[in-house]
Structure 1
Amino acid sequence: MWRYGAGVLSALLLAAGGVVLFRGAAQTEAPLPQPKPAPAGMAPLPPAPVAVPSATARTREEKRFDRYDKDRDGRVTREEYLASRRKAFAKLDVNRDGQLSFDEWAVATTTKFAKADADRSATLDAAEFATTAIPRKPAARCACPAPRAEAED
């Protein structure tokens, strides 16, 4: 029973020490510098408006639809829909006979597993399994201008 009491007491002491340290750090922070007053006879300038770039609110399904709609006419035809499947099928159909045999599928699958099994243990751990994921293009980043180097005198 005394162990529980010692545990509770140590937890309270740790919490009290954290409060003391937190309040001490808050009191030692330097105050923010005050803006300089405008020279006499001049009215202060209003702050310049900040141009915020607008982003389109496109859902995941709208983006997926756009990937399939190759001719950008707002409609996905059967040919557009099946194009990605045909590419995947063509990669697996090694002998190009238009039919996917079990052997062709098994060779592709076994090769993919062997490439992922880095330690040759005949099993995939989480890190090795992650390498079997389909590579995706990274999301587009903000095209912000690079910072300018200051001129040296």
Structure 2
Amino acid sequence: MQRMLIGGVAALFMARGGLLVWQGMAKQPSLIPAPPPPAAISDKLPEAGADAPAFGPPPPTPPEAPKASREEVRFNRYDRNRDELVSRLEMMGSRTKAFKALDTDDNNLLTFEEWAAATGQRFASADGNKDQLLTRKEFARTRPKTPAKPGCRC
């Protein structure tokens, strides 16, 4: 019991000594200098000199590309190798949206019969000179017909 009492008193003396050392350190001047007060911040914008030009040179204008028509954009989408001709492979290679419309039995497989029935006839009817290649004018005939809009909102 006596040891515990002596240990408690020693702990109190050590805590008091630490407190005195801490207070003594607080009264000493700091070795780190205080930062200077911030300069007055001006809300004014900088002004140009008297000999400065009023305006700089204008930016260069980009060249204007000619606006392509809807049919030219559509033709260029199919003409993958840019030879100004659409082959049967080029036309069918990018027609993924129409795949479901061509797949009549909905098995996610397009048979030759399904494909030939829908697109072969369309290609053959557009190919006026029967050379198995579509020119721009021939290709314009393959465009799907847009449905007529109703005249009124009834």
Structure 1-normalised TM-score?
A: 0.29
Structure with the higher helix share, 1 or 2 = 1
Q: Over alpha carbons, which structure has the higher Rg?
A: 2
